[in-house]
Structure formats: C-alpha cells, structure tokens
Amino acid sequence: MKSYLSYLECTYCHQTYDAEIPQRLCNDCGKVLYSRYDIDNAKKNFSIGDLSGRAPNMWRYFEMLPVLNVANVVTLGEGFTPIFDAPRLGGRLGYRVLNIKDEGLNPTASFKARGLSAAVSKAKELGIKKLTMPSAGNAAGAMSSYAAKAGLEAHIFMPKDAPDSNKIEVDITGGNLTLIDGLISDAGIISREKAAQMDLFDVSTLQEPYRVEGKKTMGYEIAEQLDWDLPDVIIYPTGGGTGIVGMWKAFQEMEDLGWISNKRPKMFAVQSENCAPIVRAFELDQEFADPWENAKTLASGIRVPSAIGDYLILNSLRESEGGAITVSDEEILAMMRVVGSLEGLFLCPEGAATAVAAQHLLQSGILSEDEKVLLLNTGTGLKYLDMIK
C-alpha cells in the first residue's frame, strides 16, 4: 500500500507546507492545516475494489491517510464500527429510516481512538518522542493508550471534573496527567505552555494536521457501509468539531476519487444549551464563533467553549444546507434511557444529544419523516457512570 499524501495546506489562506516536516498551524495566519493528497494518481491506482479483503479497521483507507510507511502505523484495531438500524427509536421519534453509528465500540471506547491513532502514528514517523494535549475526557485515554503502544511520552491536561473513567484510563496506560481548575480551554493554555517549556509536540484538536485524518475515516466508512449511497442527514455532537469537518473532508475526497456522487448529507451540529458557541455563530451568520462564557454541561465531550476550527465547522454546516441546534442536559439524560430501552444501546450523553436533536428537527419541520437520518454515537455511556443518577 502507498499513501498519496502530497503536502499540507492552510484551510484559510491556502499557504502550503512540506508534509515530511512536523507542522502544527499555519505560520502566516495561525489557522488549521489539512493533509492534501495526489488525487490524480490515487484515482488511477486506488479503487473501491482494493478495499476487498482488507482488515476491518480505519487503516483500510491507508492510501488516503498521512502515514507514508505502513510500519509506522500505531493501531489497536480502531474503526469500521457498525451502523445499526434503529427502527423502534425511529418510530418513537417519527422517522421511517433512522440509523446509529456506534463509535463506542472503538478501542478506548470512543471515536477519539481514530484521531489519536493517526496523530500518534504520524508523530512516530516524524521522530517525535513526547506529546501533549488538553482533553475534556475521552481524548485523554486515547492519547495515552496510543502513545503507550508507540513507546512515546504522553502529557495530558484535563479539568478536575472530567469523568473518573477518563482519569483512570490515563493512569492505567502510563500517561502523565495534570488536573486543572477550569475548562478544556484553560487546560489548552497550560498544555501549550508546557509544550514550549519541555519540547512537547501539541496534538490538540485541529492544532496539528493529523487527528482530523483519523476522524475523516468515519466518512469513508459511512459511504462504504451504506454501499456508497450517503444518508440524507448526519447529526453529530460538536465540541472541537473534528468529526464534522473530517467527514466533510472525506466526502470531498471520495467525490474527487469518483467513489461517490456529489450528493451530500445535510450536516447538523448538536451542542448543549449551556455551551453553544457554534449554534450561536450559525444563527448570527458569523464566520467565526465567539467563546462561550461559563460553559457547563454533563456531556463533557461538547463542553468546549471555543474551537480553533470554528470556521470549518460553520462552513460545512452551511455548504451542506444543514444547521446547528441545542439540547438540554435533562433531555440528554432522558434520551439515554429511551434509546437504551428501545434499542439496547448505552449511548454516551453526547450521542444521546443527537437523538434529542433529531426529535426537535422533525418537530420543528426542519427535517421530514422520509429523510434517511444517521446519528453518531461518539462513545460508550459506560464511561459516564459517575455522572448518571
């Protein structure tokens, strides 16, 4: 297998960078860098048929991932999570076709495994030995686990009130954990300070070009698992936003490869009513999202008051003719029980938020009962036992 990685490109000013040198953000404008691929050559040499017989994990799409040498791949078997039909939940909410992609079945039990597998693999390939990042929860355990597998040093900064399961994960897998008073944004400031002091490579969400590449494989999988016919709607819980922008990037790449048509799902971002910077910016038609003051929600994965990729998230929502919606913690907790009792799935709070959003979007007339809707459950509810009463 051969990766078609070609160069890195700023998503805002379009400055290009060498993909074989460690990079984080654009040196000119400070915005997010994306990995770009030699699509012309990939189109000639990499086809859907090549996927036949490959291992059921995200590295089946190696050609469109940023690691050049397969020997540098650090994997725990992440990806190719199932898409479940949810007819009983669909009937309750009012949809004829409702599916759930369950990312809780990943290693480390959340979708964060994808991004950290990609980022740690590329760090290994680039000769980076020490990593740092802030985390609201699930990314911490994922980073520590993949760093352990790769033999790299992991430093994680996390709010003190993050789920206990995430703290234990870091401890068990040998990461260096620092708990802080504040939110993930505060943890990010400390992580960046320590990176400068201790020569650590910061793998914060969208502040390096590789985590999003792992997340985009959700888009490739959704297409492949649905026989290359994308759903009408994808509803996604949104904090840092790598899931939404990663899938949107994947859809463009697959269209360029000739694997799918130009039909795209409407993308909907879901946030907590007490931490909704993307929803507010979408409603105000802003290019960027102002930081949210006093952010709070039991869904720790979406308790992100500001996102460096805010403009990318908002672009994908608008280009897809989707939208952004808030839900309450009370609705999330109630929906966790509804989904569990109807479909046998123990969704994380963030995943349950997508089902609440689907209900509101139908009731408000934004979506119709005939649209094929896919919900993304980003992790297992078992990680939140200390938060569920």
- Answer for the pair 250, 325: CB distance below 8 angstroms, yes or no: no
> Is there a domain that residue 301 lies in?
yes
> Is there a domain that residue 47 lies in?
no
- The Cα 331–Cα 338 span in angstroms is 10
Residue range of the domain that includes 261: 83-110+210-387
Per the structure, the count of domains in the chain is 1
As beta bridge partners, residue 102 has 377
Domain CATH number, residue 215? 3.40.50.1100
- Answer for the pair 338, 79: CB distance below 8 angstroms, yes or no: no
The amino acid sitting at 345 is: L
> Is there a domain that residue 234 lies in?
yes
> Is there a domain that residue 71 lies in?
no
> Is there a domain that residue 198 lies in?
no
> Is there a domain that residue 171 lies in?
no
Which residues are CB-contacts of 113 (< 8 A; sequence separation ≥ 6)?
76, 78, 79, 106, 107, 142, 145, 146, 214
> Is there a domain that residue 195 lies in?
no
> Is there a domain that residue 377 lies in?
yes
Which of 233, 217, 234, 164 is CA-nearest to residue 56?
217
Which residues are CB-contacts of 277 (< 8 A; sequence separation ≥ 6)?
271, 289, 290, 291, 292, 304, 305, 306, 307, 310
* pLDDT tens for the chain, residues 1 to 389: 999 999 999 999 999 999 999 999 999 999 999 999 999 999 999 999 999 999 999 999 999 999 999 999 999 999 999 999 999 999 999 999 999 999 999 999 999 999 999 999 999 999 999 999 998 888 999 999 999 999 999 999 998 988 889 999 999 999 999 999 988 888 888 998 888 899 999 998 889 999 999 999 999 999 999 999 999 999 999 999 999 999 999 999 999 999 999 999 999 999 999 999 999 999 999 999 999 999 999 898 899 999 999 999 999 999 999 999 999 999 999 999 999 999 999 999 999 999 999 999 999 999 999 999 999 999 999 999 987 76
